[in-house]
């Protein structure tokens, strides 16, 4: 059945002034690969599209990033986000959502895109896309299976957030008790990524390249990383699981923990190396807002290594922080489990929706 037979695109406008960073959704705060959403950093002026609980939000910019969210609350979204609302009792809203989470749909919608720098999908092509026509009982069965996987993924994500909050509390309490200041240049060594050329990238490449786009707030996402074939000239940019990264351009000060092996690091993202993975990660994370203020540039923010190296924090006995490295190990373990759950989810999506 065509999407237009069961759902429509919402065009109702509301005033953005009634929204918060929790209820406003833009393409920037939608995570790739149906990864959910983050709170937005700002709210625009004027009118935006209003959405309700159980609507389906789909980023219309660069649809190949697979940014979809099944809304759990009402709010407002930018004009670059398509809001779909199911109005047919023969189709469960979440059944439609899962049909749109498939590579089959994303490939079809991406093929309808127009534009080079910021390609946008064709809304008419979206509405004419056909999903499997099943009775409600079968839809419920599919939603239950996929929903249980999503629930476990979400629970793991919340556990990660809790661990990060716990780690920040430990680090900041110890910092308040410390009586000695040290510069980042004394505490860490920094390794910049490699300046890859466009010709280096290959769709069938064996190695993922980690760039600024792969580091989200308090996290790391490699699923939408571009690929290349390895050569010896890239060796200095090779990453390992557990490496700590810091963005130096654009969204300066974002911190991530590498959760895949044999990846390569792009230029303008730093690998930060310290005595303790816990200390390195939480020293950067706790000070990320202050690090951002060191950046310069009006069009695009850039952080210099010289300025970063001079940044001072209070800390004593860095070696003793190793007792908390288990928190980083646990964060990586949860990330590994979620990758396995996502792989299982993809198998079920392919089975149910082709």
Q: Give residue-wise pLDDT tens across range 80-111.
A: 999 999 988 999 999 999 999 999 999 999 89
Sequence-ordered alpha helix ranges (H) in 35-188:
93-100, 103-111, 123-128, 136-177, 184-187
Mean confidence (pLDDT) of the chain: 90
* DSSP line for 290-314: HHHTT-B-SSS-B--HHHHHH-EEE
| Contact (Cβ atoms closer than 8 angstroms) between residue 80 and residue 60 | yes
Q: What is the pTM (predicted TM-score) of this model?
A: 0.85
* Phi and psi at residue 333, to the nearest 5°: -65, -45
pLDDT at 230: 62
The separation between CA 234 and the C-alpha centre of its own chain, rounded to angstroms, equals 25
The residue-averaged pLDDT of 248-260 equals 90
Q: How confident is the model at residue 268 (pLDDT cuts 50, 70, 90)?
A: confident
Q: How confident is the model at residue 248 (pLDDT cuts 50, 70, 90)?
A: very high
Token duo for residue 267: 């230029």
The percentage of the chain sitting over the pLDDT mark of 90, rounded to a whole number, equals 69
List the beta bridge partners of residue 302: 249, 296
| CA pair distance 263, 85, nearest whole angstrom | 39
Residues contacting 326, CB < 8 A, separation 6+: none
> Coil, strand, or helix at residue 56?
strand
| Contact (Cβ atoms closer than 8 angstroms) between residue 237 and residue 182 | no
Identify the DSSP state of 37.
B
Residues contacting 282, CB < 8 A, separation 6+: 167, 168, 170, 171
Instruction: Look at residues 239, 332, 339, 333 and name the one whose alpha carbon lies nearest to residue 281.
Output: 332
Distances (CA, A) of 31 to 39, 136, 303: 11, 30, 24
pLDDT at 212: 80
| Contact (Cβ atoms closer than 8 angstroms) between residue 333 and residue 242 | no
Token duo for residue 190: 């920094």
pLDDT at 223: 63
pLDDT at 99: 97
Q: How confident is the model at residue 260 (pLDDT cuts 50, 70, 90)?
A: confident
Token duo for residue 205: 């490449």
* Phi and psi at residue 240, to the nearest 5°: -130, 160
pLDDT at 225: 65
More confident residue, 161 or 228: 161
Walk across the sheet containing 255-257 and list its strands: 189-192, 269-273, 244-247, 255-257
Task: Dihedral sign for Cα 182, 183, 184, 189, please.
Answer: negative
Residues contacting 236, CB < 8 A, separation 6+: 191, 194
| Contact (Cβ atoms closer than 8 angstroms) between residue 258 and residue 239 | yes
Element (H, E) at 347: helix 325-353
pLDDT tens-place string over residues 300-344: 889 999 999 999 999 999 999 999 999 999 999 999 999 999 999
* Phi and psi at residue 230, to the nearest 5°: -75, 145
pLDDT tens-place string over residues 206-246: 778 888 878 876 666 666 666 666 666 677 778 899 999 99
The residue-averaged pLDDT of 36-47 equals 89
Is residue 115's pLDDT more than 80?
A: no
The residue-averaged pLDDT of 286-306 equals 90
């Amino acid at each position: 059945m065509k999407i237009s037979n069961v759902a429509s695109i919402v065009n109702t406008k509301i005033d953005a002034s009634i929204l918060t960073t929790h209820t406003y959704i833009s393409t920037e705060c939608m995570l790739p690969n149906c990864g959910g959403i983050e709170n937005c950093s700002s709210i625009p002026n004027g009118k935006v599209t209003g959405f309700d609980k159980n609507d389906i939000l789909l980023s219309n910019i660069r649809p190949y990033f697979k940014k979809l969210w099944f809304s759990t609350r009402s709010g407002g979204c930018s004009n670059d986000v398509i809001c779909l609302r199911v109005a047919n009792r023969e189709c469960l809203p979440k059944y439609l959502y899962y049909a749109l989470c498939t590579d089959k749909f994303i490939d079809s919608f991406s093929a309808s895109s127009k534009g080079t720098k910021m390609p946008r999908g064709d809304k008419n092509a979206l509405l004419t896309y056909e999903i499997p026509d099943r009775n409600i009982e079968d839809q419920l069965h599919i939603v239950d299976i996929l929903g249980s996987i999503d629930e476990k993924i979400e629970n793991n994500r919340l556990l990660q957030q809790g661990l990060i909050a716990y780690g920040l509390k430990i680090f900041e309490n110890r910092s308040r008790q410390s009586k000695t200041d040290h510069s980042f240049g004394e505490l860490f060594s920094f390794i910049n990524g490699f300046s890859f050329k466009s010709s280096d990238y290959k769709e069938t490449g064996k190695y993922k390249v980690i760039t600024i786009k792969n580091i989200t707030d308090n996290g790391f996402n490699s699923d939408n990383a571009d690929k290349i074939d390895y050569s010896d000239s890239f060796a200095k940019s090779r990453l390992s699981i557990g490496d700590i990264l810091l963005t130096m351009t654009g969204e300066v000060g974002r911190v991530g923990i590498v959760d895949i092996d044999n990846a390569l690091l792009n230029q303008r993202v730093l690998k930060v190396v310290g005595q303790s993975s816990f200390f390195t990660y939480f020293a950067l994370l706790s000070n990320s807002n202050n690090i951002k203020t060191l950046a310069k540039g009006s069009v695009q923010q850039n952080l210099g290594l010289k300025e970063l190296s001079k940044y001072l924090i209070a800390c004593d006995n860095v070696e003793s922080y190793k007792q908390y490295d288990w928190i980083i190990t646990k964060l990586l373990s949860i990330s590994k489990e979620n990758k396995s759950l996502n792989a299982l989810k993809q198998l079920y999506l392919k089975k149910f929706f082709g």
